[in-house]
């Protein structure tokens, strides 16, 4: 049964006796009825706190929990709700909110349709991710070149690293660019290159990163940073922090601040040297592993 009065209130009708009419009968209409005929139970219109159902005004104690439910779309002749508006589900005779972003549901755990930008996952509404687009109740992945897209897989709005947006397409930057605004305008370069008027120029061979051809910020193995230039590590060092501090050595050196070699007749043992067997002129890895006698 559809609502007749769309101005239902949350509170009950209280002591409505004024302006009561009863056509063809001098008796007063039933409570809640303001216009009736052919008997007190045949109502034509109800007060604002009541609902006209089958010639009867439902309200006050007739409604469950003594409340007129704005969420209810249909009532039966017993003034009990049988159908709720979208966004609510019927629990016995009471309308209950659907879960977040659900606009039609069977229960609190089973949604039938979601708000735009959400899809049903295990009965609940989940938002599309930033790398997805929404269409007809579902979330779909954007193209792998897109960071975000709108309405279709290839309608990019932003691009992944290494690409720039041209129209709605993500096109590749130059090979040395991490980020760019066009094919010829880099904004960030890969390691080993520096940004030189929107193009990426290779650092010198000693630098792993640089801000100009002569200004290094980190060095390749075998070199250490000294101000803005890369200097050669001491002999035997594969890596070093300075001219006097090695961090790793070549295989025939041991680390002791710098990289050092053992004298003939001894071999590298840990971070020092140990003597070879007396019969060995040279040895390695152990005292008895002679290389020469």
Domain count, the chain: 2
Taken in order 54, 60, 66, 67, the sign of the CA dihedral is positive
Q: What's the pLDDT score for residue 118?
A: 96
At 70-125, the pLDDT tens digits run: 788 887 767 788 888 999 999 988 899 999 999 999 999 999 999 999 999 999 99
Percent of the chain with pLDDT over 70: 85
Confidence of residue 39 (pLDDT cuts 50, 70, 90): low
Lowest mean pLDDT segment, chosen from 97-106, 165-174, 278-287: 278-287
Check residues 12 and 164 and name the one with the higher pLDDT. 164
Given 39, 61, 85, the domain boundary residue is: 85
206-232 pLDDT per residue, tens: 999 999 988 999 999 999 999 999 999
Kindly state whether residue 27 falls inside one of the protein's structural domains.
Answer: yes
User: For the residues 6-19, what does the mean pLDDT come to?
Assistant: 33
- Containing 275, the helix (H) or strand (E) segment is strand 272-275
Q: Which domain holds residue 80?
A: 1-85
Q: Which of 68, 85, 102 is the last residue of a domain?
A: 85
Pick 138 or 28 by higher pLDDT.
138
Among the three residues 18, 50, 85, which one is the final residue of a domain in this structure? 85
* Structural domain contains residue 172: no
- Would you report the helix, strand and coil content of the chain in percent, each value rounded to 5? 0, 50, 50
Establish if 292 belongs to a structural domain: yes
Establish if 50 belongs to a structural domain: yes
Q: What is the pLDDT of residues 49-69, one digit of tens each?
A: 777 776 777 765 444 443 456
Distances (CA, A) of 179 to 51, 158, 167, 233: 65, 12, 17, 34
- Residue 123: inside a domain: no
Sorting pLDDT into bands at 50, 70 and 90, what band is 11?
very low
In a domain? residue 31: yes
Question: Which of the four pLDDT bands, split at 50, 70 and 90, describes residue 165?
Answer: very high
């Amino acid at each position: 049964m559809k609502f007749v009065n769309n101005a239902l209130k949350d509170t009950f009708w209280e002591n409505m006796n004024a302006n009561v009419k009863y056509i063809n009968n001098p008796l007063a209409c039933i409570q809640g009825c303001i216009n009736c005929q052919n008997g007190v139970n045949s109502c034509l219109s109800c007060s604002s706190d009541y609902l006209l159902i089958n010639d009867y005004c439902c309200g006050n104690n007739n409604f469950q929990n003594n409340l007129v439910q704005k969420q209810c779309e249909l009532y039966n002749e017993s003034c009990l709700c049988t159908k709720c508006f979208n966004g609510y589900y019927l629990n016995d005779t009471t309308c209950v909110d659907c879960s977040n972003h659900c606009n039609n549901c069977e229960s609190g755990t089973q949604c039938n349709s979601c708000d735009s930008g959400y899809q049903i996952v295990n009965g609940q509404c989940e938002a599309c991710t930033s790398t997805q687009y929404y269409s007809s109740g579902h979330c779909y992945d954007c193209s792998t070149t897109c960071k975000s897209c709108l309405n279709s897989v290839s309608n990019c709005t932003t691009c992944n690293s290494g690409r720039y947006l041209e129209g709605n397409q993500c096109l590749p930057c130059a090979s040395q660019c991490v980020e760019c605004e066009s094919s010829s305008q880099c904004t960030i370069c890969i390691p080993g290159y520096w940004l030189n008027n929107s193009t990426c120029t290779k650092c010198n061979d000693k630098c792993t990163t640089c801000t100009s051809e002569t200004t290094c910020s980190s060095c390749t193995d075998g070199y250490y940073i000294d101000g803005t230039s890369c200097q050669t590590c001491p002999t035997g060092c594969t890596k070093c922090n300075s001219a006097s501090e090695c961090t790793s050595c070549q295989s025939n050196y041991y680390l002791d601040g710098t990289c050092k070699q053992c004298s003939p007749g001894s071999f590298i043992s840990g971070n020092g040297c140990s003597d070879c067997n007396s019969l060995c002129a040279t040895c390695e890895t152990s005292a008895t592993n002679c290389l020469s006698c």
